[in-house]
Structure 1
Amino acid sequence: PLLINPSPPKALGLLTALLALAGLATLGRGRMRARDDTGRFVLFGGGLFAYSLMTLPVSRPLWDHLPLLPFVQFPWRMLMPAALCASILAGAVVYPVSHLMLRAPRFTPQAPRDWLAASLISAIALLGNLSWWNPRYCAPFVEETVARMLKYEYATATVGTSAKAECLPQAVKSLPDDDSIALALERGEEPDRLRGLPEGTSVDYLSRDPLALEFRVRSPQAFELTYEMFDYAGWAARVDGASVPISPTAEHALINFGVPAGTHAIAVRFGPTPLRVIADAISILTALTLTVLLILRRRAPIPNIQYPSNAAQPQTANPYPFLFALSLFALKVLWIDNTTNPFRHSDFDGATLTIGTPINQSLAGGLVLLSYEKQPAQIPSGGEFDTTLYLTTRVPGLAADYRPKFTLVGADGAGWNSPDAALPPRWHREPPSTQIWIPGQYAQWARREAVLPGAPPGRYRLVGRVFDLQSLIPDSIVDANGNALTPDIDLGEIVVTRPALPADPATLGMQYPSGANLGSGLTLLGYNLDRAEARPGDTMLVTLFWRADESPRLNVPARLSLQRDDGLAAFTTSFPPVADTFPTSEWEAGDVWRGQHFVRLPADLGDGTYQWRLALGGGGDVEIGSLRITAPARSFNAPPFDTKSGARFGDFAELAGFSLAPSPAKAGGTLTLTLVWRAVATPDASYSAFVHLSDASGRVWAQSDAIPVNWTRPTTGWLAGEYIVDPRSIVLPADLPPGSYTLKVGMADARTGARAVVTGPGSAPERLATVAAVAIQP
């Protein structure tokens, strides 16, 4: 009852299944005595078994190979006919229950045993559902508009109410990328659906009805006009009253037809087809026939039915159904809804949750992470898994509306799940906005994540983040004093296994297909490059797609070089084609794998265009794209600053000094801190520099955390001896109490969050350097 967004499982339920099995057993015994029960036994028993089987994972091969069955889309849709079979089978239990009541001394043959037996069976079936009658949250009624329907489609990745776009014309190969029509409809404007108009063409609309468009066009030349509506059967185009043939576009099947030069009256209308006319005529004729039959039936005389003397007479009124319904309602209102009982109990005590793996950490924005679940924990490469995060709120009325994001992280820090495929599973009901959550209740977020096709087998970490839906800024886990620790939520380990079949190359999402045979029985199917321009010290993501034409016997390394125009290598790096944990000696013939490699560019690269060259082992290489390098302006002379520091960070950086303004400051204002770094060496990792404004208790009231110089000068691009001027703006909270505060500076590994060791002036055990005291005035 404390779960804000319960998602009842889509299943028959234990009580329903037991009643159906009891009915099946009853019919089975009757079949042994009377042959007339055979048909019902086979029909409803077989139907229950078949439809229930189609909701279970064991039926996956049927869903994958039977024609048309995928259009059912969701296995749980088979529950409706399964429930119908189960209800009819449960009705067969009425007779044996009624017969048992006859043997009891309290019941006599005159008692309405059948009604009592039916009521008892119905009560058993309903008991498992009585606690679901009251919804936790109902959104206020809003009149549906086309704009709201479009928002629903974008949010659910569906077309209308279809999940597989099965209602589109068969000629549609893909949906258009142009979203100008959707944006216009969201603004409440009538969109312009005409495309392909030559320069100098004018259009005067006579009717903007999208199903009956009429306009006059003046064009200096003939052209092909595209009307951005799908070419369903029934569309017709006319030019000056004469019908013209529609030639739908090749990729999107949009309405397209030729228009001659000059001034013309054009009409595009959606109308009936012969098949629709015939179907409408049949429907109307059927309705008229049924009406006539009903009228004639009412005029027919009612026969005088004579009942045998020993037959039970029909009852004009029976109070038992009413009493049964009233009793169930009273049971729900008086007991189920007001007590803790088997039908209504909670796993949340207001502070901890007994579901899933506990987290019990607070976020800076007011949410509390309770626990998580993920299923399955072992999945094949390219497969899917569900992740559920349970949360509550410490305070009502949160300032932001939050959402979750989950990343499957490999040992190298790369993400191995599809960044765009995550959607709530069909079984999950999304909670309302976090801004209306109240303390004492909890909610669940669930996402269905897809492992990238071709991901190598191995152990991965699942990491979650909770971000502000409007700003997309991730919220941070905080300690007991409210200090931000990290935005990453550790959700345990997931094991990726070898798939049953190699990944289909068409599903890999290759930017640049290759097909180059690089020897050692391996073919480079293609590659992706995350950028075409970079700065020295930047880290690039290079994705390589491989196919094993035969089973490699040795571990073959890949060699990647960045070459200048003169053919000389500016730098070269080597790595396993896929991953350190999955060498080529473990590949099999026919395997298709994906390798994601972070490549850090040297800090001393000069301006110019370079070419990437890839090779395997000692074999020949192949070009896989180019890279434009823009080197930053460097200064090896100390710039002016107000205060000297001298604090050292690791073995790669020194804070030469800084300038601070204004001092003193006021709550709600902005502190401008200009840090001047001196590079001691080029580190192997990229570090972010952070500044904390904290009070005497250690609470951080304001901060700045970023790669130096507004994310443009990563430490991996620093050269020894150069100076880097890193300005920071620190916004002070409006409720910042007056008093004395301290500015502290630190550096942390941008990937792992590990802080660099601080030595020298102002160094502190928590790996921070105290640089200045700040007075906050009222």
Structure 2
Amino acid sequence: MAQERGFWLMLPWVMLIGMPMFRPGLPPTEDGMIHAYRVLEMHRLWQAGIFYPRWAPDLAFGLGAPLFHFHGPLFPWLAAAGMALGLPLEVSLKIPLAGLLLLGSAGVYGLARRWGLSERAALVAALAFASAPFRIRELYWQGNFPQYLALSLLPWALLTLHQAIRERRWVWRFAAAGSIALLLLSHNITAMLSAPLLAGYGLGVIVAERLPVSRVRVGLHVAALGIGLAAFFVIPAIADRPLVHLDRLLRGEYDFRKHFLDLGSLFSMPPLYDDRLGNRRLILTLGLHQVLLALPAVAWLAREGGNDQGSDRRRALAIGCGAVLAGMVWMMLPVSQPIWERVPLLAYAEFPWRWLGPAALSLALLIGLGVDALPPRAQGLWMLFACGMLIVGSLGLLYNGGTHTRLLYPSLSDLHAYERWHRYPGLTSVGELFPRWVWGEIEGSPIEEAYRAREEPIRLDRASLPPGASVRTLKLGPLDQRYAVDLPVEGNLRFYVLAFPGWIVQVDGRPAPMWVEARTGWLRAEIPAGSHEIRLLFGSLPQWRLLELFSMGLAISGFWRLIAIWRPGRITGSRLRAVITRAANFSQHVQAIGGAWRAWSAAERSMLLIGGLALLGQVPYRLWLATRVTLDRPPGATSHLQVDYAGRIRLLGYRMEPADATPGGQVRLTLWWRALRPMDDQYSAYVHVYPVSGEPRLAFQSDHMHPADVPTSAWDVERVYQDLHLLRVPEGTKPGLYRIRVGLYERLNPGSRLRIDGSGEDGFDLPQLLVIARPVSPVMEPIVFGGKIRLAGVEAPAEVPAGTPWEVWLAFEALRPLDVDYTLFVHVVDREGNVESQRDLWQPTSRWPVGVEIPLAISLDGLSRPGRYALRIGWYKWPEILHLLLDLPSASEPAYVHPVPIMVR
């Protein structure tokens, strides 16, 4: 690839995707901090001389967990190497991540070229893989860095497997086996999902290259060698599953049945702007723009593609990629549930949408094929267009709008603080790696104080020593500690570690009887009376050691064979002299570069210039800034506010759908919040609904322990949080107008509410009122007051007993937003127009929703004289007593007289 101009054209365009890595701090991803602290733990154990630790002693507040026994150690190894060189933790993370971005793209480029695609097509395919929505999401939003590593290794595993099957040379077999081993060591789940892809690819190569069936043995040999190289990790990780709580990943929020996608989501467009939502919906899509860019390949496949060998290979690639893509899409849909339920271990993948990673590889190759599917004259312009579309289509995900976290030289005490505040004990989601005998959750440990003092904790519990006993520390290490004890009587000593195979307690060099303390899972040992040297040690079990030796032996033998192939005698003579001569002749290199530049087409020169200028000018970042949403005006809110609660949290706006509801119905109220400063406190949100008139009794409510389902202690000041409340209207709720009061209170002390800045109130009434509706008999003619309020209905009794109070229902509708609160008057008049009874009611018309019929119950006093009466209805503004006149064709009147009489008997 070093001589390929397409490869060098690719670099600036791919680096545009990596530009956010140059910003200080780590992007505020969901899982990024988890993996950062795992790297910290790996580096801490490297400092103790332990290269591959199966047990991570500092997790779970110092009680430990078998993290690297079940999770691939490759990414922590890569990042810990940077820390070993003295680099800060965040830099040690960013260097391998930036390298993986280029590594994955280079692998796709090489894979495309291996199938006969042109340099232009391979360039576009590489950029399509780098800018795949799922890949960018993993890098800047989800932060599952081991999964990103595995997906970057996948094209190399396919490429080396292709070469191994085609050429049968040992160097390619060993390279393919090494790639598979690295894949297994990076991310268990991605390796499991990639297994059928690798097997199918190997068979596809044999068919497409028209190789003998005997080459299947080569593929099997490569697979066996790759598994053998990673056997020290893979086999114990599978065999020891019953020792931990992995079953927690099969239920609750991690049940795969809850995470299937639909076709609309899979083929949707990623967002083109940053909406700054802290609880942003999962963006799980192939990317509509990428699917559309692959259509030329589909069109080319449908027509005659040529009869030469290159066309046949590209056709085979197109058919294979299309079939694989369709199969992966099918595996993400609910229709594939029976497969998920029946295939062993597949349920541990948790999320069907993980197939988006391998699917991005197939889609990228189809996009590259689409370039070669076009006429040669159109390929240059299409290449420019495709690259621009791929970059623009990634803008909404490329820059995470939250606050970046500086993580230079954190301590193990910081690790424990992260575990506590984010409830990730053991740096796992639900404590799935705690030993099987641990019950419940782990909230802390007695040895945290030692970590805060930056000391190695003493894991022997002094409180478990019998009276009169003494203890002296001889050696303190993360996985090896020694104590000198003097026991007057036999004692059952407790150690602050979670019991797990590998932990042993020795008394004077001999194993002591051990058992597990109920519920806590702590290790206990029986120590005889007398003076002894006690050793607490985590060692490798015989089967683990055997597998480690086996994998190491395979690796050494493989490298030895490579050295034998490349023995010094083979690189001397004329070939070596030619290499030295070409390296020494610098002028020829300069001339070659100039000649290559002159040989490039205008489209290729434009690609290099545009990519370089975009990189130097940080064009994607500038485009993102231009589309970034204003922090205090979140999109989606129908009303924007600036209501501050104790200078800590601001209510930015709301949306209420619908504006009216009937008893037994439901209203969706969405609130947008923002943290004004970082907080350690936890606040809950309440929404209380009260009638506008009458007694201020609570009608119904909604409370959220964590607004927007995110603890307020984790809120980012650069983001807004969308908090959805479902207000269920109880049966029997009286129709009318209701005010909605929104507030915040301390989660552990509901009586302590945050006060509104400026007013001192303990809650805020939303400007818009909620209407609890009921049907009111409509009026037959249009009755409009001042062009602002329409009388929609009148419902009055036909007969009323004399002297008995009675009630009238009226329905009104605001025709446009009102800026004045008007007063409603209802007069009961006799035949001569004399007012016998009346009721004047002030109404908050400035808060009425527009276009919604509002039912109002008017209570009237009883009439003493029998007779025939009529209702006169109108509106006026207090205190000026300015009436809203009726809109009539002939004249204007201050009131409407209802033509249906009311008889009083």
Q: Give the TM-score category using the shorter length.
A: 0.3 to 0.5
Structure with greater strand share of residues: 1
Higher relative contact order (CA 8 A, sep 6+): 2
Give the TM-score taking structure 2 as reference length: 0.40
